[in-house]
Each structure stands twice: as structure tokens, then as C-alpha cells.
């Protein structure tokens, strides 16, 4: 079946095919507000997993995701975690909560992609997208690494998935000037830098923690018609990533 998967393959089809591997697993997904890639992944996985932890910036939005998933799968075992990636204090608090739980984390999906501001914006002294897409996830992942390591066994390797993008090609990581103080900022170059950072983080995780049985992956999810993509319709059409007359992406 895998050989026949394509752009029209649904999350449900993939989850059903892998249901025996998802069974009994605890999955933590960031950026799980309703309508996001995270909420869709959670919806599909929750049909088979032992526990799905939904992380997002507001309890209200997480409750909406819970209600949506429960409406389809009443037996889904869901837990919410407030995680505001704009504030490192919130990241640390969320990590402390995860570390207080007894359950191991079999799969961590660092999913959220922050909105693309047209003007240079700093969060805690760091360019907004670099902070939200990379720095906050870097910190959160490292702080809960013990819970991830605890999921390793003779027949299972825990997974860390960092959602990146083909937009990484827009910019390398500007190690000497990640805040674009030279005046060269554009919303897409900043987004590209953050997604390149996601990939480099993934590669280093795979190298550093292979001895602990941890696997790490990054991916390009495609241009999906999420609220974030909708806010950039004009730009995406101009880039040839979106069909102007429909709400469908080319990927």
C-alpha cells in the first residue's frame, strides 16, 4: 500500500495502515489548534493511540480541538497542554508539566508554524519566526528528553518529528545575524531560516541520541489549506504554490 501513497492519500488511510504501530503509544503534538496540521494529525492518530497530548497556546483553542476529535472518536484518550511558543517561561512551564507525568512520550511532533509577519518582529530578543518555529521547540524538546528516552525499548525507538518545509531553500541559518539586523528581512527569508534550523536540529538529534534509541525526522508537509496558508493566499499564488481559482494547493 505504501508504494501507492500520493498527494491524495488521507491521514486516516495512513493511520489505519500503521494502526498496529500506533497502538499503545503516547503522542505529543504541538500547534494543535483546530484547523491546523497538528489537529488533523491528532484526529487521525487518536483513533489508534493510547494517549494523544494536544499542545497549544490557549486552553480555549485546545478545548475546541478536543471537542472536534471526541465528536468523531468518543473513546479517544486526549490530554491538553498549554504551550505558548512566544514565551520561554511558558515553554519551561509546559515542559515541567510533561516531566511530572508518569507516561513516556513515544512520539513528539513539533508541528507549529507561526504566522509570517511582514515586518521584522522580535520575541524575547529573537526574530519572531526563528523563535517560534525553532528556538522554543529546541528548548521544549531538550527539556522533555528524559520522557522521550523513557519510551525506548528493545522493540521500539522513540520518534522526534520536526515539521519543516521546502521553504528551507529560501534561507540558510544566518548564524552571525539571525535577527536580520542588516536590513535584509523578508517574511519568507525569515521563515526559510527557521525551517532550515528545524532540519539541522533534526540531523543533530539523530546523531546525538542514536545511542539512546531515538529516531529523528523532518518533513515537508506540502502547502496545506490551513488558516496560516489562507492568510498568505496572494503570496502563495504568486509563487505558484496555490491555484488562484480554488483553495487547493499544488502539493
Q: Which three three-digit cell numbers place residue 130?
A: 526563528
- Is residue 17 part of the annotated active site? The answer reads no
Contact yes or no for 44/15 (Cβ under 8 A)? yes
Q: Which three three-digit cell numbers place residue 101?
A: 507525568
Catalytic residue among 128, 138, 191, 209: 191
Residue 234: φ, ψ to 5°: -60, -45
b/e per residue, 182-221, with b = 16+ CB within 10 A?
eeebebebbbbbbbbbbbbbbeebeeebeeeebbbebeeb
Task: For residues 27 and 15, give the distance between their C-alpha atoms in angstroms, rounded to a whole number.
Answer: 13
Task: For residues 61 and 51, give the distance between their C-alpha atoms in angstroms, rounded to a whole number.
Answer: 19
Task: For residues 111 and 195, give the distance between their C-alpha atoms in angstroms, rounded to a whole number.
Answer: 11
The residues that are catalytic are: 191
Amino acid at each position: 500500500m505504501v508504494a501507492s501513497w500520493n498527494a491524495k492519500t488521507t491521514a486516516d488511510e495512513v493511520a489505519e495502515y500503521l494502526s498496529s504501530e500506533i497502538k499503545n503509544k503516547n503522542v505529543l503534538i504541538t500547534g494543535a489548534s483546530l484547523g491546523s496540521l497538528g489537529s488533523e494529525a491528532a484526529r487521525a492518530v487518536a483513533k489508534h493511540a493510547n494517549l494523544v497530548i494536544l499542545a497549544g497556546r490557549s486552553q480555549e483553542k485546545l478545548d475546541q480541538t478536543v471537542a472536534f476529535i471526541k465528536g468523531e472518536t468518543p473513546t479517544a484518550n486526549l490530554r491538553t497542554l498549554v504551550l505558548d511558543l512566544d514565551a520561554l517561561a511558558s515553554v519551561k512551564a509546559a515542559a515541567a508539566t510533561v516531566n511530572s507525568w508518569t507516561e513516556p512520550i513515544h512520539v513528539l511532533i513539533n508541528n507549529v508554524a507561526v504566522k509570517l509577519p511582514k515586518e521584522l518582529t522580535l520575541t524575547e530578543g529573537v526574530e519572531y519566526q526563528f523563535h517560534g518555529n525553532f528556538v522554543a521547540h529546541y528548548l521544549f524538546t531538550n527539556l522533555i528528553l528524559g520522557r522521550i528516552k523513557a519510551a525506548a525499548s528493545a522493540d521500539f525507538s522513540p520518534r522526534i518529528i520536526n515539521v519543516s518545509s521546502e521553504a528551507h531553500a529560501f534561507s540558510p541559518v544566518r548564524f552571525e545575524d539571525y535577527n536580520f539586523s542588516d536590513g535584509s528581512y523578508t517574511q519568507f527569508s525569515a521563515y526559510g531560516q527557521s525551517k532550515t534550523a528545524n532540519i539541522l536540529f533534526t540531523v543533530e538529534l539523530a546523531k546525538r541520541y542514536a545511542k539512546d534509541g531515538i529516531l529523528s525526522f523532518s518533513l515537508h508537509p506540502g502547502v496545506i489549506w490551513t488558516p496560516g496558508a489562507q492568510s498568505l493566499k496572494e503570496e502563495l499564488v504568486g509563487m505558484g504554490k496555490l491555484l488562484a481559482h480554488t483553495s487547493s494547493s499544488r502539493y
